[in-house]
Chain A
């Protein structure tokens, strides 16, 4: 993990308000683990002042320029335009300089090959699940349940399919896939494949509902959280969530940036309104 200056390779709108950015990122193909994130510095001038955290969607190699040169590494992030920082980002182009700090945080624990895996993604929360799927399809059956408000929120599903992931789409308005919440699909899949492990990322109400379903069934669950953060390295303490056993007398705060962003469900305090350092709009 380090901070370095690099350039944008491409930045494209893939669905209304959703952008996919490819960034030159030496070393990331080897280093970046599923579920990790980067702190992205939009530009050197102000605003925005603070970096923005983004989950890594994918890491890979560019085609080599010529035979004698080693192929260059890149990462891709996907972001939804939600505020001043992402508004500036959507105007960036190929060749624009940016700074990346990362890869940061604790990622997903992949688990044993014989388990069935269910990924639950809500909107932009799908992002950190792709690298995980890439890793898991080598050894396990992987199913993706992708939910969104409308079809505009359903992104990159075909890429999961190309990996060999079984995908199930649901939208709240029924404009794509099944009409309803992704958690309804989850309950059905867990009825059918009760020995699955679940990995979820999305808006907090979705994550809370997934946690409830998994807790009732004793299903193992890992969640990736999004939080407001200033530093990404555990110093500002802005991104904390309450850990299991948290009490006013004996506080147990966990930094989303360094202890997470991926947590095993049992690490967190799920009592109502306890975990709420979360903007709507999915995971980093």
Chain B
């Protein structure tokens, strides 16, 4: 770590993952930032390390019945059901807006079958402006969705291998925390050709209305996100960093720069901010500014010097 007694100049905040240069290591988590445009009135999208879109499927998806969200202690449960416009409509109607920014666009996608995963990836392959794909093998919300792939290392390996063949774009694989040993699925994704891993997706959870005795979500079970899950996420990122050679993007309950720093120190090359965007549409801009401030105050000339510096 480079230290300096004098007041530091601007610390270097850029990071690189799979050949993509990010201005800084902060980007939104898929599903919490819409298609980008929703937050344009509140946040300069040029400030972000990257834009990560809502998850795309081959066909438009209706999503679940309501209620779809509920607040829990320091967190929220959601079972949106991956509602999205479908990959073709995304390319036609949502991508042109995103292309105007000097910010890499990462398109999150999912499928209900291996072939669907492959087909969505293929359709995004020649779309200019798409910097990378993030493959969701972990969303716990949809009954016949990603959970099958993300919790079964063989299925994960097979699906990622197939997608790898159908795209020339950098491929990030987003892992589920709802497994016994995340290092096994992490290695399976790496062996199958993933360029980076992002984790964690939401933890499955449930809440009950004690008066009506009904689940508080129409889908009964949902995904837990928010500050409540951060220690679990930090632990899992720490374990995955030990297990693989490819870069890791840390996700889970980040709402301040201090939270992001935990992930960077355990070895994440970048972080994604999720639920905090709902709480404060300007959350990522504040995190970016505070990360820079932290580096300046701590005498860190380049944020890369901080990554993976955990001392045990």
Which residues of A come within 8 Å of B, CB atoms?
A: 1-3, 41, 46-51, 84-85, 99, 101, 227-231, 233-241, 248, 251, 253, 258, 276-277
Interface locus among B70-78, B123-131, B161-169, B196-204:
B70-78
Find out whether the CB atom of A240 lies under 8 angstroms from the CB atom of B66: yes
Neighbour of A251 across the interface among B60, B70, B279, CB < 8 A: B60
Find out whether the CB atom of A236 lies under 8 angstroms from the CB atom of B78: yes
Find out whether the CB atom of B42 lies under 8 angstroms from the CB atom of A3: yes
Neighbour of A233 across the interface among B42, B61, B68, B73, CB < 8 A: B42
B interface: dominant SS: loop
Cβ of B239 within 8 Å of any chain A Cβ, yes or no, is no
Cβ of B281 within 8 Å of any chain A Cβ, yes or no, is yes
Q: How far is the CA of A50 from the CA of B76 in the complex (A)?
A: 8
- Could you give 10 example pairs across A and B, Cβ below 8 Å? A2-B41, A49-B275, A49-B279, A50-B279, A230-B275, A231-B38, A236-B80, A240-B66, A251-B63, A276-B66
Q: How far is the CA of A69 from the CA of B10 in the complex (A)?
A: 40
Find out whether the CB atom of A238 lies under 8 angstroms from the CB atom of B279: no
Minimal beta-carbon separation of B38 from chain A (angstroms): 4
Find out whether the CB atom of B41 lies under 8 angstroms from the CB atom of A1: yes
Minimal beta-carbon separation of B203 from chain A (angstroms): 15
Minimal beta-carbon separation of A158 from chain B (angstroms): 34
Find out whether the CB atom of B227 lies under 8 angstroms from the CB atom of A238: no
Q: How far is the CA of A238 from the CA of B41 in the complex (A)?
A: 20
Chain B residues with CB below 8 A from A3, complex form: 42, 280-282
Neighbour of B62 across the interface among A101, A229, A251, CB < 8 A: A251
Q: How far is the CA of A230 from the CA of B73 in the complex (A)?
A: 14
Minimal beta-carbon separation of B254 from chain A (angstroms): 13
Say whether, besides A49-B227, A49-B279, A277-B66, A234 and B71 are in contact (CB < 8 Å): no
Known: A233-B281, A277-B68. 14 other contacts (CB 8 A): A49-B75, A49-B279, A85-B71, A231-B281, A233-B34, A234-B34, A235-B34, A235-B277, A236-B80, A238-B80, A240-B66, A240-B68, A251-B60, A251-B61
Neighbour of B281 across the interface among A84, A101, A253, CB < 8 A: A101
B146-172: which residues lie under 8 A (CB-CB) from chain A? none
Count of residues in B whose CB is under 8 Å from the partner chain: 33
Say whether, besides A237-B80, A240-B83, A253-B62, A230 and B69 are in contact (CB < 8 Å): yes
Instruction: Select from chain B the residue with minimum beta-carbon distance to A277.
Output: B66
Cβ of B32 within 8 Å of any chain A Cβ, yes or no, is yes
Say whether, besides A3-B282, A50-B278, A237 and B68 are in contact (CB < 8 Å): yes
Find out whether the CB atom of A228 lies under 8 angstroms from the CB atom of B70: yes
Minimal beta-carbon separation of A44 from chain B (angstroms): 9
Which residues of B come within 8 Å of A, CB atoms?
A: 32-34, 38-39, 41-42, 60-63, 66-71, 73-76, 78, 80, 83, 226-227, 275, 277-282
6 nearest A-B pairs in the assembled complex, by CB-CB distance? A251-B62, A277-B66, A238-B69, A235-B34, A230-B278, A231-B278
Q: How far is the CA of A165 from the CA of B71 in the complex (A)?
A: 39
Q: How far is the CA of A230 from the CA of B226 in the complex (A)?
A: 12
Instruction: Select from chain A the residue with minimum beta-carbon distance to B226.
Output: A49
Q: How far is the CA of A236 from the CA of B278 in the complex (A)?
A: 7
Find out whether the CB atom of B63 lies under 8 angstroms from the CB atom of A240: yes
Q: How far is the CA of A41 from the CA of B70 in the complex (A)?
A: 16
Minimal beta-carbon separation of A264 from chain B (angstroms): 20
Q: How far is the CA of A164 from the CA of B38 in the complex (A)?
A: 40
Chain A residues with CB below 8 A from B60, complex form: 251
Neighbour of B38 across the interface among A48, A228, A234, CB < 8 A: A234
Instruction: Select from chain B the residue with minimum beta-carbon distance to A275.
Output: B66
Instruction: Select from chain B the residue with minimum beta-carbon distance to A227.
Output: B66
Chain B residues with CB below 8 A from A234, complex form: 34, 38
Q: How far is the CA of A99 from the CA of B74 in the complex (A)?
A: 18
Minimal beta-carbon separation of A185 from chain B (angstroms): 30
Minimal beta-carbon separation of B80 from chain A (angstroms): 5
Chain A residues with CB below 8 A from B69, complex form: 228-230, 236, 238
Chain A residues with CB below 8 A from B62, complex form: 248, 251, 253
Minimal beta-carbon separation of B248 from chain A (angstroms): 25
